[in-house]
Amino acid sequence: MTLYHLAVALHVAAACLWLGHMFFWSLFSGPALKKIQPPETAGRLRAVMLWRGGLGWPALAVLAVTGLYQMRFRGVTLGMLADGTMLQSAAGRIIAFKLLLVLGMIGYQLVFGHRPAPRAIYFNMLAALLVLGASVLLVRG
Amino acid sequence: MTLALLVVYIHLVSSVLLVGYFLFWLIMTVGLERLEPAAEVAPLTAAMLAGARWPPAVVPWKLRLTVPGLGWTFLAVLVLSGIAESLAGARYPVGGALGLKLALLAALAAAHAQLGRRPTPGLAKLSLGLALGIVVVSVLLPR
């Protein structure tokens, strides 16, 4: 395994942990646990689930470091985004779109963090799905 | 987006969901283990295994998925989309990274079968480790 492979593996693993936690909690386990009867049992189980949080920032740190390394490995720098040369190729535009979405997700993390955000979470999940789509296009497109 | 790319996308999204699913088990089992009094753990675990169903509305109760049922669904989507990727042209030599990935997948399915019946923090850690191991090995597959 090369350093590049390691960076990709860490990038994908961090994305799976962070986004997987968000998707599974928001779309599956949260709503399913809420319906358990009696409601006291449901409340107890939901309280148990909340003992561990704060996965977002460490995952984002890993994603940023490994993502920047991969960009550099492929000869892409943030300077190329700043002066617009990145936008001249299709791959560059996809990277720019992905970075824009990631910035939005960082904004969500800054504003809401681990607090409930019943509406904003859906925008965050949509951004996450688009980020995954952009990643597929970059690697396989 | 072509069909081949759509299959890759489905495979990636279901990997994300599967890792999230095993992370849920880890958080839940460790959280339950920390509960006082300990006598509460077994009834709460049983209530979760039997009572938590998805989707929480619209679909008749009997047709809703249990929590382990969700895990099996994600695994099935992963396997089917993985097979579809192979049929769509991704030719990996059997053995090496693919062999290791399939072996880890078999171990994960076995651990999940046990986790769905008697969830423990140890099994949850093992399952999450195996799921992340599959992610890491996938990176090594030749493109």
Enter the ipTM: 0.91
DSSP one-letter code for B54:
E
**Between these two residues, A33 and A135, which has the higher pLDDT value?**
A135
Model confidence band, residue B92 (pLDDT cutoffs 50, 70, 90): low
The pLDDT tens digits of the residues spanning B12-24 come to: 999 999 999 999 9
Smallest CA–CA distance, residue A31 to chain B, in Å, is 6
List residues bridging with B54 in a β-sheet: B65
Spatial neighbors of B90 by CB under 8 A, at least 6 apart, are none
Read off the amino acid at residue B103: A
Smallest CA–CA distance, residue B125 to chain A, in Å, is 13
Report, as an integer, the average pLDDT of A113-134: 88
Q: B127 near B28, Cβ under 8 Å? A: no
Report, as an integer, the average pLDDT of B95-111: 92
Looking at residue A62, its pLDDT comes to 96
Task: Tell me which chain A residues have a C-beta less than 8 angstroms from the C-beta of B20.
Answer: 16-17, 19-25
To test the contact with chain B by mutation, choose from A10, A16, A23 the residue with the greatest count of B C-beta atoms within 10 A, namely A16
- The Cα A106–Cα A131 span in angstroms is 13
CB contact under 8 A, B30 and A51: yes
- The Cα A18–Cα B140 span in angstroms is 22
Report, as an integer, the average pLDDT of B82-102: 79
Model confidence band, residue A52 (pLDDT cutoffs 50, 70, 90): low
Smallest CA–CA distance, residue A73 to chain B, in Å, is 16
- The Cα B78–Cα B124 span in angstroms is 19
- Counting Cα atoms < 13 Å in the Cβ hemisphere of A93 gives 5
- Touching check for A40 and chain B: CB below 8 Å? no
List residues bridging with B65 in a β-sheet: B54
> What value does the mean pLDDT of chain A take?
89
List residues bridging with B53 in a β-sheet: B66
| Joined tokens for residue A33 | 């646990």
